[in-house]
């Protein structure tokens, strides 16, 4: 079996490049989605969460490769990524047609769990 050859850190621009979707998570707080009148908004996605965590907790150089619709929601997502310290040079901006026929930015509504009731996502 051949041994994995890892490049030296100083020869790489990034310590990690994550590939995957980044969505907006809309949290109604203590309430339910069906009765909410306001939401707290966060960014998230499994692969992105790893990149952000490694950047913020350990100071590693991270970037994300994803695509966003070029609209206000996409720009909000970009702002969250920038605030997290993750590089955005590999974000592909796709033209938005006003409806979302070809490209959309993901939205995830998530209620918190209470007692034995787990969290609920829509």
- What value does the mean pLDDT take over residues 88-105? 96
pLDDT level of residue 7 (50, 70, 90 thresholds): confident
Is pLDDT above 80 for 1?
no
β-sheet with 16-19: strand ranges across: 16-19, 62-69, 87-94
Residues 51, 20 contacting (CB under 8 angstroms): no
Task: Dump pLDDT digits (tens) for 47-79.
Answer: 999 999 999 999 999 999 999 999 999 999 999
Kindly list the structural domains of the chain, giving each domain's residue range(s) and its CATH number in brackets, ordered by start: 14-112 (3.40.1190.30)
Question: Helices (DSSP H) in the chain: which residue ranges?
Answer: 46-58, 72-83
Does this model's pTM top 0.85? My answer is yes
Task: Dump pLDDT digits (tens) for 18-27.
Answer: 999 999 999 9
Looking at every residue in the chain, the average pLDDT score rounds to 94
Separation between Cα atoms, residue 8 and residue 6, nearest integer Å: 7
Model pLDDT, residue 64: 98
């Amino acid at each position: 079996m051949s041994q994995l050859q890892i490049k030296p850190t100083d020869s790489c621009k990034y310590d990690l490049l994550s590939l995957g979707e980044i969505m907006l998570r809309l949290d109604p707080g203590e309430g339910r989605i069906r009765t909410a009148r306001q939401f707290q908004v966060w960014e998230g996605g499994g692969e992105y969460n790893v990149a952000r965590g490694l950047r913020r907790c350990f100071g590693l150089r991270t970037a994300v490769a994803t695509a966003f619709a070029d609209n206000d929601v996409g720009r909000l997502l970009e702002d969250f990524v920038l605030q997290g310290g993750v590089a955005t040079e590999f974000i592909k901006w796709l033209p938005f047609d006003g409806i979302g026929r070809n490209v959309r930015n993901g939205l995830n509504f998530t209620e918190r769990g209470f007692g034995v009731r787990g969290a609920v996502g829509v």
